[in-house]
Amino acid sequence: MQDRPTAPELLEAMAAKLFAEVREWVPRERRFQILVLANLCAVIARELRAGAEPSLADARLFRELLRRPVEPAIAPQEADAVARATAAELAGAIRAGELDDRLDEAIGRLREHVARKLEIARPGYGG
């Protein structure tokens, strides 16, 4: 256990400071770089708060699109690695034409995966 503030709370404080104050201290033409850093802090804070659930949901979706059983269950600490490995398999299967007969379904359902990424990286974009 660490004392508060928690990691997301600290990142949010950093984002606020960068956005509201540090931005004003740098020359105008470089302020964009501070905005990028402030935004990254906010992204990481949202990612930490969301925990393993988005990756677990992605792994389940990718298995479903690959017509694989949803089992075995995935441990939260493995969620990201499993999702990544399954994403690679799905990407390969799509490229190989193995999903051609259900490409509409894949295109429709993969919006769920992209929406989960947007909720962390750019809330409101997919709205």
Partner 1 sequence: MREALAEATGDDPGALELSPIEGGASRQTFLVSAGGEPRWVVRREPAAGMSFNSLEVELGAVKAADLAGVAVAPTVCFEPAGGRFGAGAAYAMEFVSGTAVAPRVLRRDELAIARERLPGQLAAALAQTHTVEPGAVEGLAGGASDPALEACDLWEAELDAIGEPLPAVEAGLRRLRLNPPPPAEPRLVHGDFRLGNLIVDEHGLAAVIDWELCHAGDPAEDLAWLALRSWRFGNDDLPVAGLGETEPFLAAYEAAGGARPDAERLRWWEAMGNVKWAVICARQAHDHLTGARPSAELASLGRRICEPEWDLLQILVGSDGSGREAEQASGGVP
- Chain positions contacting partner 1, by CB under 8 A: 29-30, 32-33, 36-37, 39-40, 43, 62, 65, 84, 87-88, 90-91, 94-95, 97, 99-100, 103-104, 106-108, 110-111, 113-115, 117-118, 120-122, 125-126
DSSP summary character for residue 72 = S
> Minimum CB separation from partner 1 for residue 75, in Å?
20
> Minimum CB separation from partner 1 for residue 65, in Å?
8
Concatenating the DSSP letter of every residue in 22-51 gives IHHHS-GGGHHHHHHHHHHHHHHHHHHHHT
How far, in Å, CA of 58 to CA of 84, rounded?
A: 9
